[in-house]
């Protein structure tokens, strides 16, 4: 009988690298799950033939994790497409515009903060003017002629990325937002609930003025599905890396049921699955749903369940370690520039779907 891999603990030294920490000192429990996630990402997911989708939920970018962890992965070609809450993209703009956010304590007097117009995100503080000025920037962008149309969120975010890039370069602070990095690398960013953020609120407000910018949510569903469909159809593999849960998690996973169940096209499910979450499965929420449960929906290929990892850890702990480990151990990849291929991928999905209907 095999007991598994022998645990062989050694003393930690002061010159320990992140790679050594992960490989040699995360022994068991969720430490071991974090090790498995890092190794799975670096050894299998970061290979050139794998298309990597990343989801972001929770207030991650106010912490600085966008420019610190996500942007380096994008620039290294290790993230090919993203599903994010609109809030993460909006709050990532603040530093692009030169505003400051401050680390503090969650044990503050919130009434006093309110009186001084200070906004709190747990232990992060910033002045209300940061929101008002960021809103003004967004509205200025959305009034431009290029936004006067109905478009998917990937297109809207790509166009916004050109403006954040210009503002970051003009300020010269060195800060790079997710929007800017994705714009430069051709990484499409989708928002599963575009009205559920300050970005969507500003689109709605401008509509009252007669602005013609609108969200095409149906295109988003089909575009994201087309990315996965093309990946698998061309002999590649699909990976999902889920930071948190919520709507972005379901959105990236529903691409497979859309292919199999709704469109009736032959497919098996995503090949690799990593999730960092603090949600339990027994409460019935999707954020805590396991890869095995997702497999029953067709979201995960049943033959690939060994290549799935759920680590019950805060994303603010796991993402920096994952990023540092991947950048230290995996080679950079050429950018797939899926944004540039959206029309082509969508046309192929449409052609195959209509051909199936005509043949049925």
Q: DSSP letters of 235-299?
A: T-EEEEEEES-HHHHHHHHTHHHIIIIIS------BSEEEEE----GGG--GGG--HHHHHHTTS
Task: Give pLDDT, residue 12.
Answer: 94
Which pLDDT belongs to residue 288?
A: 67
What would the two tokens of residue 33 be?
């799950």
| 129 burial type by CB count under 10 A (0-12 exposed, 13-18 middle, 19+ buried) | exposed
155-174 pLDDT, tens digit each: 999 999 999 999 999 999 99
> For residue 279, what pLDDT is reported?
75
123 within domain boundaries? yes
Q: Provide the CATH number for the domain around residue 231.
A: 3.40.910.10
Confidence of residue 301 (pLDDT cuts 50, 70, 90): confident
Residue 217: pLDDT above 80? yes
Domain region containing 215: 37-359
Nearest to 84 by CA among 56, 61, 58, 60: 56
> At 306, is the secondary structure helix, strand, or coil?
helix
Domain annotation covers residue 4: no
Q: Which of 232, 249, 299, 336 is catalytic?
A: 299
The predicted model scores a pTM of: 0.95
pLDDT tens digits, one per residue of 128-143: 999 999 999 999 999 9
In percent, the amount of the chain with pLDDT more than 70 equals 97
- Compute the average pLDDT of residues 230-245: 95
Determine, yes or no, domain membership for 8.
Answer: no
Nearest in space to 300 (alpha carbons), one of 267, 262, 270: 270
Task: Give strand pairing partners of 120.
Answer: 125
What percentage of the chain reaches a pLDDT higher than 90?
Answer: 86
- For residue 83, the cross-strand partners are 55, 190
Sign of CA dihedral 130, 133, 137, 139: positive
Phi then psi dihedrals of residue 331, to 5 deg: -75, 145
Residue 297 lies in a domain: yes
| Inside any domain, residue 12 | no
Q: Is residue 26 included in any domain, yes or no?
A: no
Provide the mean pLDDT of the chain: 93
Give every CB contact of residue 268 below 8 A, 6+ residues apart in sequence. 232, 256, 298, 301, 302, 303
Domain for residue 28, yes or no? no
Annotation marks residue 299 as catalytic: yes
Please state the domain count of the chain: 1
| 306-339 per-position pLDDT tens digit | 889 999 999 999 999 999 999 999 999 999 999 9
pLDDT tens for 174-195 read: 999 999 999 999 999 999 999 9
Asked whether 318 and 241 are in contact (CB, 8 A), the reply is no
> Stretch 291-301: mean pLDDT, rounded?
73
Q: Is residue 30 part of a domain?
A: no
Nearest to 153 by CA among 84, 94, 238: 84
Positive or negative, the CA dihedral 191, 201, 65, 277 is negative
């Amino acid at each position: 009988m095999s007991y598994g891999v022998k645990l062989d603990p050694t003393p930690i030294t002061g010159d320990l690298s992140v790679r050594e920490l992960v490989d040699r000192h995360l022994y068991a429990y969720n430490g071991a799950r974090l090790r498995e996630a890092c190794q799975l990402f670096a050894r299998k997911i970061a290979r050139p033939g794998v298309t990597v989708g990343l989801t972001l939920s929770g207030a991650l970018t106010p912490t600085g994790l966008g420019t610190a962890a996500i942007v380096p992965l994008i620039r290294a070609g290790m993230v090919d497409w993203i599903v994010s809450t609109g809030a993460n993209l909006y709050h990532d703009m603040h530093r692009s515009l030169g505003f400051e956010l401050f680390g503090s304590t969650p044990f503050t007097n919130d009434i006093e903060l309110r009186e001084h117009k200070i906004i709190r995100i747990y232990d992060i503080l910033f002045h209300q003017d940061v929101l008002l000025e960021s809103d003004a920037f967004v509205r200025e962008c959305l009034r431009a002629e290029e936004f006067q149309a109905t478009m998917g969120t990937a297109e809207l975010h790509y166009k916004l990325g050109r403006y954040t890039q210009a503002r970051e370069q003009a300020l010269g602070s060195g800060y790079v937002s997710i929007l800017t990095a994705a714009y430069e690398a051709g990484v499409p960013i989708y928002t599963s609930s575009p009205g559920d953020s300050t970005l969507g609120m500003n689109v709605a407000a401008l509509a009252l003025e007669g602005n013609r910018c609108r969200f095409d949510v149906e295109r988003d569903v089909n575009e994201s599905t087309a990315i996965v469909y093309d990946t698998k159809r061309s002999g590649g593999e699909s990976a999902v890396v889920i930071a948190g849960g919520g709507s972005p998690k379901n959105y990236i996973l529903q691409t497979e049921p859309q292919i199999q169940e709704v469109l009736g096209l032959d497919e098996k499910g995503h090949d690799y699955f990593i999730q960092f979450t603090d949600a339990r499965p027994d409460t019935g929420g999707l954020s805590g749903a396991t890869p095995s449960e997702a497999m029953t929906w067709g979201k995960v290929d049943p033959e690939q369940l060994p290549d799935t990892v759920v680590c019950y850890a805060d994303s603010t702990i796991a993402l920096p370690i994952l990023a540092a480990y991947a950048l230290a151990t995996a080679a950079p990849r050429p950018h797939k520039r899926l944004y540039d291929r959206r029309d082509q991928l969508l046309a192929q999905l449409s052609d195959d779907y209509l051909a199936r209907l005509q043949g049925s």
